[in-house]
Amino acid sequence: MTRIVIKLGGAVAGESATLVLALAQQHDVCVVHGAGPQISAELAAAGLEVRFVEGRRVTSAAALPVVRSSFAAVNAELCGAIGPRAVPLFGDEIGLEAVQVPELGHVGSPLPSSPAAIEEALGAGFVPVVAPLAVGPLNVNADEAAAALAVGLGADKLLFVTDVPGLLLGGAVAATIRVSEAERLLAAGVLGGGIVPKLEAAMVAAREGVDATIGATAVVA
C-alpha cells in the first residue's frame, strides 16, 4: 500500500481531518503537525521571547514546556477530529532522533528514522499523529520532522498542507520547481519566512526519491 506522510501546519490542523481520513481509505498515512501560532501566542502570554532565524523558532529551556503544551493541545484537537483511527505520539517519547542546533537553543535537526510506534500503528491500520519533539527533548521544525520521517519510513509521498497555496514565484504559484532551482533561490536570499524550512524539507525528501508537494507546488529532483 502507498505510504504518505502529511505535514499539517498548526493554523490548519483542525480543518484537515477530512483530507487525512480520505487519504487513509486507500493509503498508509502518517501525520506530522505543527503548532506555530499556538506556541507564539502562549510564549507571548508567558512573557517569553518569540524569535525566528530563517523560519526556525529559537527555543530556550524556559520555552520548552510551553512548546510541549501547545503541541499537546493541537495533537489532541487533531486526533479528536480524525477519530478512533488516530494514535497520538510525541517524537521524543518514540525515539525520534535529532542533532542539536546550538545557535537555536533547544532545537534539533531531525535524522531520518522509522520509530517502531509509527510502524506498529500503520501496520494495524491506524493513523499516527506525531508532535515534532525529538529526544532531548529538542524542539524540531515540523516541516523537517515530516521530511525525516518520510525518508525513514520509505514514504511514497510527502504532502505539506498549509494556509498558503504553494511556492509563489513572480506573483504566481509555481506548479513545479526543481531542487537545483530551489537551491539557487535559497542561496540568493530571494525567499524568506516559513516557506524556507518547507522548501528545504521538501528538497530533502525529493533527493531521496519521495514525491514532495507544498500546497500546489511539486518539488522534484
Q: CA torsion sign, 185 to 191 to 195 to 201?
A: positive
- Cell digits of residue 107: 532545537
Distance between CA atoms of residues 22 and 26, nearest Å? 8
DSSP helix/strand/coil, 59: strand
> What does the chain come to in residues?
221
Distance between CA atoms of residues 68 and 192, nearest Å? 26
Torsion angle of C-alpha atoms 91, 93, 97, 98, degrees rounded to 10? 60
CATH dotted code for 3-220 = 3.40.1160.10
pLDDT at 24: 96
Give the pairing of strands 107-110 and 138-140.
Answer: parallel
Closest CA to 221 of 65, 24, 209: 209
**Do residues 98 and 111 lie in contact, with contact meaning Cβ atoms separated by under 8 Å?**
yes
Distance between CA atoms of residues 84 and 158, nearest Å? 23
Domain boundaries, the chain: 3-220
pLDDT at 58: 95
Distance between CA atoms of residues 183 and 162, nearest Å? 21
pLDDT at 9: 81
pLDDT at 48: 96
pLDDT at 165: 87
pLDDT at 145: 97
pLDDT at 201: 95
Q: For residue 43, give the amino acid letter.
A: L
pLDDT at 133: 97
pLDDT at 105: 97
pLDDT at 192: 77
- Cell digits of residue 158: 510527502
Q: For residue 160, give the amino acid letter.
A: F
> Does the model's pTM come out above 0.75?
yes
pLDDT in tens, the chain (221 residues): 799 999 998 777 677 899 999 999 999 999 999 999 999 999 999 999 999 987 789 999 999 999 999 999 999 999 999 999 999 999 999 999 999 999 999 999 999 999 999 999 999 999 999 999 999 999 999 999 999 999 999 999 999 998 888 898 888 999 999 999 999 999 998 887 778 889 999 999 999 999 999 988 999 98
Distance between CA atoms of residues 62 and 135, nearest Å? 17
